[in-house]
Amino acid sequence: MCCRLEFGMKASGMRMVTRSWSREPGAGPRGIGEEAAPLGRGEAAAEGRKSHRPMRRQRKAQSLSVAYEASDDEKGEGTELLKVPSWEPQDWQQQLANIRTMRSGKDAPVDQLGAEHCYDPSAPPKNKVKYIKQTSAILQQRYGGDIPASVAELVALPGVGPKMAHLAMAVAWGTVSGIAVDTHVHRIANRLKWTKKVTKSPEETRRALEEWLPRNLWSEINGLLVGFGQQTCLPVRPRCQACLNQAMCPAAHRL
Ligand code: SF4
């Protein structure tokens, strides 16, 4: 059921696509980049109390599904129009393929860190441990030990920002709600000019990337770029000599 929106898609204008979603019964489909409307803390808690039991049973059955281009005989009921981006970065497909090649060893720190490091006394920063304890208590009290199933409720938890909320939605609920953008993704997207204009914050970068990056790549891009930023495209003195993108990177050897 996982069909891809082709990388080589460059046509402009509107195109008929079919979208299928595995969501809670009675829930309607969401549009590209659409998130649940922000809830107040009280509403978020009430929503979580109402829904945590069925969500837990549904989690294993959920699966990611993405938009794909429909053939003529697939068009009809249940199809919807999605706008193909009018702008996309030059060479992004080759740059992405190169990053995948450089990341094929999956040996960056991001590939190995896990929740077990919460117990590591040397794990910085201390605030993370404090937030994890506070969040654990809230999840126990309000969500029956589960986690909420919307970005709005997740970012209401202590220490949880948009990046972690989108990651949690993808990993825990199988829902691609948005691109998880941290400082690595923010930095690399600007170096490669994957944003139409220079962006000043990870949130601005997230919105800029979501305007053109095919949705079936949203969940992959965070881990890919974070590891690339840890090993090659470092914040200071990036290793451009060892980078497969140096010939097509606007920032190569200028940092
Ligand atoms: S060429 Fe240098 S700046 Fe550009 S992506 Fe590679 S490491 Fe980063």
pTM (predicted TM-score):
0.65
**Ligand 1 in contact with 243 (CB < 6 A)?**
yes
Taking 70 as the threshold, does the pLDDT of residue 45 lie above it?
A: no
CB of 55 within 8 A of CB of 146? yes
- Would you kindly state where each structural domain of the chain is located, as residue ranges? 93-99+122-253
- Give the DSSP letter of residue 246: G
Q: Of the listed 10, 163, 196, 200, which one is catalytic?
A: 163
Give dist(CA 98, CA 17) in Å, integer.
29
Position 83 scores a pLDDT of 60
> Is 93-99+122-253 a CATH 1.10.1670.10 domain?
yes
Q: Quick one: average pLDDT of 211-230? A: 95
In the sheet that holds 79-83, the strands lie side by side as 68-69, 14-18, 79-83
Q: Let me know if 83 is a catalytic residue.
A: no
Atom of ligand 1 lying closest to residue 246 CA: 1
Q: Which residues contact 129 (CB under 8 A, 6 or more apart)?
A: 118, 123
**Ligand 1 in contact with 248 (CB < 6 A)?**
no
pLDDT digits (tens, 9 = 90+) for 159-201: 999 999 999 998 899 999 999 999 999 999 999 999 999 999 9
Direct distance between the N- and C-terminal alpha carbons of the chain, in angstroms, rounded to an integer:
43
Q: Which of 95, 184, 192 to mutate to test the pocket of ligand 1 (most atoms within 8 A of CB)?
A: 192
pLDDT digits (tens, 9 = 90+) for 107-142: 999 888 665 555 555 555 678 888 989 999 999 999
Residue 22: which pLDDT band, with cuts at 50, 70 and 90?
A: very low
What does the angle CA 103 – CA 105 – CA 107 come to, to the nearest 5 degrees?
90
**Ligand 1 in contact with 233 (CB < 6 A)?**
yes
Taking 70 as the threshold, does the pLDDT of residue 245 lie above it?
A: yes
Alpha-helical (H) ranges within the chain are 41-59, 92-102, 126-143, 151-154, 162-173, 183-191, 202-210, 218-231
**Ligand 1 in contact with 238 (CB < 6 A)?**
yes
Query: Which one has a higher pLDDT value, 37 or 238?
Result: 238
